[in-house]
């Protein structure tokens, strides 16, 4: 019987990972540790909160002593580490929170795992969830592979790169069993509406301007969040110790093409005349250090662990839009209060 600590389980991707593990593995005990920052929302896990193998712990990974105490108390044998500050724009305004959570918090977890597992690494695993943004920016051609050199540009990606290096260092120095995956941009239900897709769905719904950074020519490789959770399941169980796996959807879109597609689908769903929502597009000041293109080569994961994405993007984006339109209460709840202050600061000056 496994005792898995999943950090950041109340967030976007974490909640999908927790749901998958709680439902698929009733014999595992799943401990969701989350500080419930602005991005954490226990409502995301309403459907599994009463499952006998699910436990919630409110804690901050920056608190190293608490991490030690929790390992001591619960005897976790595995960690799936997703807790992080995750939004590039916020990292530009406030880098220090990213240093604390993404770097110091990760080291606190590594130290606790190393301390409690040191006499017996058998059956133990520290799985660190990372991003393709550590690789930097691509030109018009090529893909990120597992051997692409790190070249992060934002405080967010630099903090994630740093945590990746530290996880590898604990493997090489102390033999801590670990695995890392670097995934492309995720989309789907429960994503906080600061990221492009849910932000724009919410703005289209409310007839608010759609703030496109620069010319909208930047390219992202989008993967449905449930497919990321499936990949995490496969890598957690079958990935080789010390290895890195890239996860991506082979699904590149320029921002502007993606935004136009969302406008078209939402016109249909909201019963608006075709072209109505596109009129909300507003080109604003570009993001500082804006990476041009991300694109993942996930051949290793496909070849070694037989993972492939299950959903085509056109279907995934429709499912996602439907979810937000059917869960307006969730959207209204998370876009009230502090969100309004964030939104004003982020977009008024542009
Ligand atoms: P998110 O911002 O939606 O959720 C982060 C979660 O971590 C929240 O529940 C938050 O409360 C929690 N958290 C933040 N600081 C904490 C702290 N100090 N202690 C404990 N909990 C804390 O993020 P997400 O988009 O779900 O991303 C999850 C992970 O996946 C991150 O590590 C991110 O770098 C990585 N990732 C994200 C994407 C993406 O497209 N969103 C892509 C690749 C990798
Ligand atoms: P985002 O969802 O923040 O993900 P990331 O920066 O981690 O890739 O942004 C996706 C793309 O959309 C990125 O090129 C920035 C762009 N973008 C906008 O044009 N306007 C916005 O308001 C936001 C949030 C993002």
Domain boundaries, the chain: 3-188+224-250+292-311+337-346
Residue 220 and residue 250: Cα distance in Å, rounded?
A: 10
**CB contact at 8 A, 70 and 112:** yes
d(CA 291, CA 172): 31
pTM over 0.95: yes
Q: Which ligand is nearest to the CA of 186?
A: 1
Predicted local distance difference test score (pLDDT) of residue 282: 98
**Does 217 qualify as catalytic in the annotation?**
no
Please name which of 37, 41, 33, 18 lies closest in space to residue 67, comparing C-alpha atoms.
33
Give Cβ neighbours of residue 187 (< 8 Å, ≥ 6 apart): 195, 197, 198, 222, 223, 224, 225, 316, 317, 320
Q: Which CATH number fits domain 3-188+224-250+292-311+337-346: 3.40.50.2300, 3.40.50.11540, 2.30.33.40, 3.40.50.720?
A: 3.40.50.720
What's the confidence (pLDDT) of residue 350? 79
Catalytic-role residue among 60, 85, 89, 133: 133
Index of the ligand 2 atom closest to the CA of residue 212: 19
Tens digit of each residue's pLDDT, the chain (350 residues): 899 999 999 999 999 999 999 999 999 999 999 999 999 999 999 999 999 999 999 999 999 999 999 999 999 999 999 999 999 999 999 999 999 999 999 999 999 999 999 879 999 999 999 999 999 999 999 999 999 999 999 999 999 999 999 999 999 999 999 999 999 999 999 999 999 999 999 999 999 999 999 999 999 999 999 999 999 999 999 999 999 999 998 999 999 999 999 999 999 999 999 999 999 999 999 999 999 999 999 999 999 999 999 999 999 999 999 999 999 999 999 999 888 889 998 998 77
Distance 248 CA to ligand 1 centre (A): 18
């Amino acid at each position: 019987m496994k005792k898995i600590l999943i950090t950041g389980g109340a967030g976007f991707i974490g909640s999908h990972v927790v749901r998958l593990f709680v439902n698929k593995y009733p014999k595992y005990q799943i401990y969701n540790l989350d500080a419930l920052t602005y991005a954490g929302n226990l409502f995301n896990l309403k459907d599994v909160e009463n499952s006998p193998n699910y436990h919630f712990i409110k804690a901050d990974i920056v608190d190293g002593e608490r991490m030690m105490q929790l390992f001591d108390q619960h005897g976790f044998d595995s960690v799936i580490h997703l807790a992080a500050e995750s939004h590039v724009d916020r990292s530009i305004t406030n880098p220090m929170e990213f240093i604390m959570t993404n770097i110091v918090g990760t080291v606190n977890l590594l130290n606790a795992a190393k301390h409690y597992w040191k006499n017996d690494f058998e059956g133990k695993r520290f799985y660190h969830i990372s991003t393709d943004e550590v690789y930097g920016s691509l030109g018009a051609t090529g893909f990120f592979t597992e051997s692409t050199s790190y070249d992060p540009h934002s405080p967010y990606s630099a903090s994630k790169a740093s945590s990746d290096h530290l996880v590898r260092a604990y493997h090489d120095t102390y033999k801590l069993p670990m695995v890392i995956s670097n995934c492309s941009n995720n989309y789907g239900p429960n994503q906080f509406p600061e990221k492009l897709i849910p932000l724009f769905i919410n703005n289209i719904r409310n007839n608010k301007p759609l703030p496109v950074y620069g010319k909208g020519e930047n390219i992202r490789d989008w993967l449905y969040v449930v497919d990321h959770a499936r990949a995490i399941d496969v890598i957690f169980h079958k990935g080789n110790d010390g290895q890195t796996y890239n996860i991506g959807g082979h699904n590149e879109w320029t921002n502007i093409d993606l935004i136009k597609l969302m406008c078209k689908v939402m016109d249909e769903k909201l019963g608006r005349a075709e072209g109505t929502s596109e009129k909300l597009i507003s080109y604003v000041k570009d993001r500082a250090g804006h990476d041009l293109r991300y694109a993942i080569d996930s051949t290793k994961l496909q070849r070694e662990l037989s993972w492939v994405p299950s959903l085509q993007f056109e279907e995934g984006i429709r499912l996602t839009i439907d979810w937000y339109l059917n869960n307006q209460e969730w959207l209204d709840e998370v876009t009230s209060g502090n969100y309004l202050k964030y939104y004003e600061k982020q977009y008024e000056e542009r």
